[in-house]
Amino acid sequence: MATETPPPSRTPAQLPSAEEFVAVQESAEFGELRRAHRSFAFPLTLAFIVWYLLYVLLSNYAGDFMGTKVAGNVNVALVLGLAQFLTTFLIAWWYARHAAAKLDPRAESIKSRMEGGA
């Protein structure tokens, strides 16, 4: 069984205690970090699920609409199906930008304080 070893610059006695972790978890700064993450991730996740279910429902119950030709042999179903992939990549890119700009600096601040670097 492998055990996790602390970074070389710290000894086990310097690791944060359970009480310190709880104190950080209850801090206003950590609460703001959680709110910043949730206020971005939850609405976007819900919107994507609705968008996906709309596609599935249209595929099952609106066959004539989904079979409508857009250009040549390309129909609405193909366009919406490819749009699912596009929105997946756009959401991932948007979240990466949001995390880098708003979440990572806050998390790094909390981390450095917990590790004693603040």
Give pLDDT tens digits for 73-115: 999 999 999 999 999 999 999 999 999 999 999 999 999 888 8
**Residue 94, pLDDT score:** 97
Has residue 21 been placed in a domain? no
46-74: per-residue pLDDT in tens?
A: 999 999 999 999 999 999 999 999 999 99
User: Is pLDDT at 8 greater than 80 in this prediction?
Assistant: no
Banded model confidence at residue 17, pLDDT cuts 50, 70, 90 = confident
What is the pLDDT confidence band of residue 15, given thresholds at 50, 70 and 90? confident
Count the domains in the chain: 1
In a domain, 72, yes or no: yes
Could you tell me if residue 25 is inside a domain? no
Q: Which domain holds residue 42?
A: 37-114
In a domain, 5, yes or no: no
Q: What is the DSSP string of 29-98?
A: HHHHHHHHHHHHHHHHHHHHHHHHHHHHHHHHH-HHHHT-EEETTEEHHHHHHHHHHHHHHHHHHHHHHH
